[in-house]
Chain A
Amino acid sequence: MTTGSPTTPATDGSEQPAVELVGITKEFPGVLANDGISLTVRRGEVHCLLGENGAGKSTLMNILSGMVRPDAGQVKLDGHVVEIDSPKHAIGLGIGMVYQHTSLVPQLTVLENLMLGEAEGIRLNAAHAGERLRELGSSLGLDVDPKATTGTLALGQQQQLEIIKALWRGSKVLILDEPTSMLTPKGVAELEQIVARLKGQGLAVVFITHKLHEAISMGDRVAILSQGRLVGAIEPAELRSATHDELQERIISLMFGSQAAQAAGVAELTDGVEPHLPKRALAAELALELDNVTVEPGPGEIGARDVSLQVMKSEIMGIAGVDGNGQRELAEAIAGQRSIADGDVRLFSHSIATLKVAQREKLGLRYVTDDRIHEGTVGSLSVAMNIVLKQIGKPPFWGRGRIRYEAILSKARDLIGRFDIRTPGPETRVAALSGGNIQKVVLARELSFDPKVVIYSKPTYGLDVRTTRSVRQTIREQAREGVTSIVISTDLEELLDLCDRIAVLSRGRITGIVENGPSAQQRVGELMVGGQAT
């Protein structure tokens, strides 16, 4: 297990880059994920891979980490051609990868999770592992409690643990796949420090992101991927000399073509957003009321306690908070997917607390779940079927118990056009679509059958710039048409961009409600921090 430490600097004097990818091509059924991509990653550098969802970033890195084998092309490590045939092999070669979604076992302690990687030998060597953890922790500037139960750690800490795990066997290359997608601003700052330290220690870091400002601020070198191809690269010299705005413009034109760069609004999402929503006159009608709603927590959950909220018709109410503070429990309780232990939920002044999901749906309540792949859609069914999944048995799609394909297909074609869903056709399986298009399928379903109150859970989580913009636009348009929205998001910028008011959820309780405006960001931030302290 003592295969060195990541602190071993790469000062062997050779000019060989740590990783060279040459002409990597990978084809999946229906999609050319990587099309002849060549990339060089050097020691002591952060190499950002920037691109929209489905651009091929993750595939490329999965090839490097042994999860996927390329159809063509070479991988060179320190100048030697290698055939990486499994993740284990990749780890042995010193390639560590931190995935977007945590692979830690929440019930185990920190140390146990780390020892899981050491599959060799029968007995676990806890003392040795503890020593290694201290060594790595101090080299990264982290203080990690080896005995803490992993599930109780904040997401940022879990990610730090993932990084330690990736470095456990002495990595030379560290790949971070969208590492900031689930972090708070504080977590992002901590991550930046860790990355800076690793860089200083001579590691080659690959940083996958779809956020432009991250690439600019963290990368020493940026490679831009689009549609499976490498469409451009920005060298260190240029990154240092050009201004932020110049770089941004340059990258957008590389990503979308020069014409697109001028399209209004693309830039606004690439960086911090100023709240710009004009004060709107809201109807005086109450749409959704939560009255001291308490939801019992399931295993590993926080639950919700005494949540009271009044949302007016056509209002966009934001719910801010760090992930895992009761957001899902609350959303599911409103949607009827779990029962409430106490309190009342009223829709247009009628209690819906005892109604089932389908009955609430009938009254115009919609829930856009954040788990669009496992909950919001059925991947093995077609786009058309997914669009009518909440209409099963109802006319015009079903008649006398039998399905009416023509009605379903024509509805699907209509919605595919209106929601700009990019799919080969209405009968393509949803699983074959990209994340952004799956989200559009979910939105098309939820927003097309006369919605009155819509709960959005992290509506743009993991989506690329263009889709994010279109989703937010849709939410605004719905509000203009009189639909009431509750937007649950961990992205404060998103809430400031969209909402009339923002409630802060912390440890399952509402710690305050803030009117959106110039000082809202600061006040929401205070409530988030203050709430956490209790």
Chain B
Amino acid sequence: MTETTAAAELREPPRPREVTGGQAQLGRGGDFFLRSILPLVLALGTGAIILVAIGVDPIQYYKDVYSGGVQFAAWQDSLMRVAPLLLIAVGLIVVFRAGIWNLGIDGQFLLAAAVISGIGSRFEEHLPNTINLLLLFVIAGAVGAAWTIVPALLKARYELNEIITTLMMTFIGINLAQILVKGPFQDSSTTTPQTRAFDFTALLPSIPGTESTSRRWPGVHVGLLVAVAAAFVVWFLMSRTSLGLRLQVLGASMRSARHMGLDVPRLIIVAFLLSGFFVGLAAATEILGVKGYQRADWNPAFGLWVVPLVFLARLHAIGVIPYVVLLSLASIGGDYAAQNAGLTPQFTLLLVGLTLLFMALTEWIARRTAGGSYLPGASYRRHRAEGAG
């Protein structure tokens, strides 16, 4: 290269004038505000206008959301809600970063829940509690992962659009879960279509110090710790390991991934299985930590709640935690507030929907002013300062 560089030095042109060293005119803080905070603020504001329009005092409503989600030991409920939502979120982060749309979350979730609530209450007499719980977590993860196999193979082998296949599989999964609950897993001691309830002592233990004296449940179950640990694992996986980088290259461009010699079909399958696994774990925390049994008509539809959050957090597994906490609080407190205001509890979902809408809007603005997008592939190693320029 010596000749080339020597010749180049001779004609060294002035470097392009650096205006800002950073990524955007707005700076990183402005970008964060625009993409991750502003949509929430706008959604809450619009929600308030809607509340006024239907004759509800918005300040009182939001106060109720807060008190219903935090005060009077409701914070334990809110924190327990964090567990499944966070596990779903990290599962989605893995696939979304790989550029794959797993939208079959609810089917994976309910099926995993049905299987462990069906077989778990039968195991409990035969196995020590800890082993029983561990086993059920693994089984739930495996069922969730298994329910992604069909869309994964169809995409890996035939490049079939996974949005359609996962949505189809979620319908099948939801109905199959119902069939299981009403059929083989039906509690024979009742006519209500539901599984046999776990013994209280067979459920997840509480985190010490979270017990409440006035509540039915002993305290916040350890599923929350599982979820937080999973968030750190996924963060490490995506930012520090070779698999994480491979998944991100796939997410950036399938053509690039092929060109770089990555095994694209295998990566697609791995991403799907991982996401299904985490969704299965989410089901385990809800059944083994909160519900204790499953009714045939139970479908919390957590999947829809979580999708906007992971984009607000820009697909960052740890960054998503505060959003999940906020959403849990809103969903627990929202029920209370809606009841007080004479509204349907679905009003919280309306706020989630508005957030999504405003995200799209601010994204459009952000693209014009700051560039980039919600899918920040560059977050692989974003924390480091620029090298010697």
Residues of A within 8 A of B (CB): 27, 29-32, 35, 54, 226-228, 256-257, 259-260, 263-266, 335-337, 356-358, 360-361, 367, 369, 371, 374-382, 384-385, 389-390, 392-393, 398, 401-403, 405, 409, 413, 417-420, 422, 424-429, 466, 469-470, 473-474, 477
Contacts of A393 in B (CB 8 A): 242, 246
Bound: A256/B7 CA distance, A: 13
Given contacts A31-B16, A381-B380, A382-B381, contact A390 B261 (CB under 8 A): yes
Stretch at the interface among B112-120, B174-182, B191-199, B248-256: B248-256
CA distance A356 to B388 in the complex (A): 37
Report how far A417 CA is from B387 CA in the complex, Å. Answer: 14
Q: Check B389–A31 contact: CB distance below 8 A.
A: no
The chain A residue with its CB closest to the CB of B24 is A29
Instruction: Indicate which residue in A392, A419, A427 contacts B386 across the interface (CB closer than 8 Å).
Output: A427
6 further A-B pairs in the complex, CB-CB below 8 A; given A374-B253, A401-B242, A418-B5:
A335-B259, A369-B259, A374-B255, A380-B377, A392-B260, A419-B1
Of the candidates A385, A413, A417, which one forms a contact with B381 in the assembled complex, judged by CB atoms under 8 Å apart? A385
Residue B209 at the A interface, CB < 8 A? Answer: no
Contacts of B22 in A (CB 8 A): 29
Q: Are A405 and B384 in contact (CB under 8 A)?
A: yes
Complex: A435 Cα to B89 Cα, angstroms? 37
Residues of A within 8 A of B5 (CB): 417-418, 420
**What bracket does the count of chain B residues touching chain A fall in?**
35 or more
The answer, among A31, A375, A378, for a CB contact under 8 Å with B17, is A31
From B16, B249, B256, B388, contact of A376 by CB (8 A): B256
Interface presence of B126 (CB below 8 A): no
Which residues on B are within 8 Å of A, measured CB to CB?
Answer: 1, 3-5, 7-8, 10-11, 13-25, 240-243, 245-246, 248-249, 252-253, 255-256, 258-263, 370-372, 375-378, 380-381, 384-389
What are 29 contact pairs spanning A and B, CB under 8 A?
A29-B20, A29-B370, A29-B371, A30-B20, A32-B19, A256-B11, A358-B261, A376-B256, A376-B259, A378-B252, A379-B252, A380-B376, A381-B377, A381-B378, A381-B380, A382-B381, A384-B387, A385-B380, A385-B381, A390-B261, A393-B246, A409-B387, A417-B5, A418-B1, A425-B388, A429-B378, A466-B8, A473-B4, A477-B4
Which residue of the partner chain B has the closest CB to A260? B11
Is B3 a contact of A227 with CB atoms below 8 Å?
no
Contacts of B387 in A (CB 8 A): 384, 409, 413, 425-427
* Cross-chain contact A378 with B15 (CB below 8 angstroms): no
Q: How far is the CB of A408 from chain B (nearest CB, A)?
A: 9
Measured in the bound complex, the distance between the Cα atoms of B22 and A257 in whole Å is: 30
Q: Write the nearest CB–CB distance from B2 to chain A, whole angstroms.
A: 9
In the complex, which of the residues B256, B262, B389 contacts A375, with contact meaning CB atoms closer than 8 Å?
B256
Q: Are A380 and B252 in contact (CB under 8 A)?
A: yes
User: Which chain B residue has the least Cβ–Cβ distance from A371?
Assistant: B255
Partner of A429, one of B11, B23, B260, B262: B23
A303 to B225, CA, bound (A): 55
Given A375-B259, A378-B252, A427-B381, answer yes or no on A413-B388 (Cβ-Cβ < 8 Å): yes
Contact check, B16 vs A29: say whether CB atoms are below 8 A apart.
no
Determine the chain A residues whose CB is within 8 A of the CB of B260 once the complex forms: 357, 389-390, 392
Which chain B residues lie closer than 8 Å to A379 at the CB level?
Answer: 252
Q: A380-B378, A427-B386 are in contact. Are A54 and B16 (CB under 8 A)?
A: yes
**Contact check: which of A29, A256, A358, A427 meets B384 at CB < 8 Å?**
A427
CB of A390, distance to nearest CB on chain B (Å): 5
A384 to B385: give the CA distance in the assembly, Å.
13
Chain A CB count within 10 A is highest, among B24, B243, B256, B370, for B256
Q: How far is the CA of A107 from the CA of B260 in the complex (A)?
A: 30
- What residues of chain A lie closer than 8 Å to B385, measured between beta carbons? 427
Residues B386 and A420 in contact, CB atoms below 8 Å apart: no
Q: Are A30 and B242 CB-contacts (below 8 A) given A375-B259, A380-B377?
A: no
Q: How distant is the Cα of A266 from the Cα of B8 in the complex, in angstroms?
A: 11
Bound CA span A259–B7, Å = 12
Q: Give bound CA distance, A392 to B19, whole Å.
A: 33
- Collect the chain B residues with CB atoms within 8 Å of residue A265's CB: 7
Cβ–Cβ contact B259 & A263, under 8 A: no
Task: Given A398-B242, A422-B15, A427-B386, decide whether A477 and B3 contact each other with a Cβ distance below 8 A.
Answer: yes
Cross-chain contact A424 with B4 (CB below 8 angstroms): no
Could you tell me the distance between the alpha carbons of A143 and B207 in the complex, rounded to whole angstroms? 80
Alpha-carbon separation in the docked complex, A367 to B261 (Å): 11
A263-B10, A425-B386 as given contacts; A31 in contact with B19, CB under 8 Å: yes
Given contacts A375-B256, A380-B376, contact A263 B11 (CB under 8 A): yes
CB–CB A392/B245 < 8 A: yes
A474 touches B259 (CB 8 A): no
Q: Which residues of B contact A417 (CB under 8 A)?
A: 5
Task: Report how far A409 CA is from B385 CA in the complex, Å.
Answer: 12
Q: Which 4 residue pairs across A and B have the least CB separation, nearest first? A: A380-B377, A358-B261, A393-B242, A357-B261
**A336 to chain B: which residues have CB within 8 Å?**
261
Bound state CA distance, A35 and B245, in angstroms?
38
Contact A259 B24 (CB under 8 A): no
Most chain B beta carbons < 10 A, residue from A27, A380, A382: A380
CA distance A20 to B274 in the complex (A): 59
Q: How far is the CA of A358 from the CA of B258 in the complex (A)?
A: 9
Contact A32/B16 with A378-B252, A403-B241 known, Cβ cut-off 8 Å: yes
B242: contacting residue among A358, A361, A403, A470, CB under 8 A: A403
Contact B17 A32 (CB under 8 A): yes
* A377 and B256 contacting across the interface, CB-CB below 8 Å: yes
Across the interface, do B1 and A474 meet the contact criterion of CB distance under 8 Å?
yes
Instruction: Give the residue of B3, B17, B258, B370 whose beta carbon is less than 8 angstroms from that of A357.
Output: B258
Which B residues touch A374, using CB under 8 A?
253, 255-256
Q: Is the CB of A385 within 8 A of B1?
A: no
Complexed CA–CA distance, A426 and B246 (Å): 20
Write the nearest CB–CB distance from B90 to chain A, whole angstroms: 19
Closest to B1 in A: A418
Chain A residues with CB below 8 A from B255, complex form: 371, 374-375
* Residue of B whose beta carbon sits closest to that of A261: B11
**Which chain A residue lies CB-closest to B244?**
A403
CB pair A337 B245 closer than 8 Å: no
Across the interface, do B259 and A473 meet the contact criterion of CB distance under 8 Å? Answer: no
CB-CB nearest in chain A for B3: A473
Per the bound structure, the CA–CA distance linking A126 and B262 in Å amounts to: 48
Inter-chain contacts of A358 with B (CB < 8 A): 261-263
- Of B7, B13, B389, which contacts A424 at CB under 8 A? B389
- Evaluate whether A392 and B13 lie within 8 angstroms (CB atoms) in the complex, with A31-B19, A369-B259, A376-B256 already known: no
Most buried by A among B8, B19, B248, B371: B8
| Residues of chain A lying within 8 A (CB to CB) of residue B18 | 30, 424
Chain A residue with minimal CB distance to B384? A427
| Cross-interface CB contact of B1 among A337, A466, A477, cutoff 8 Å | A477
**A188 CA to B13 CA, complexed, in Å:** 31
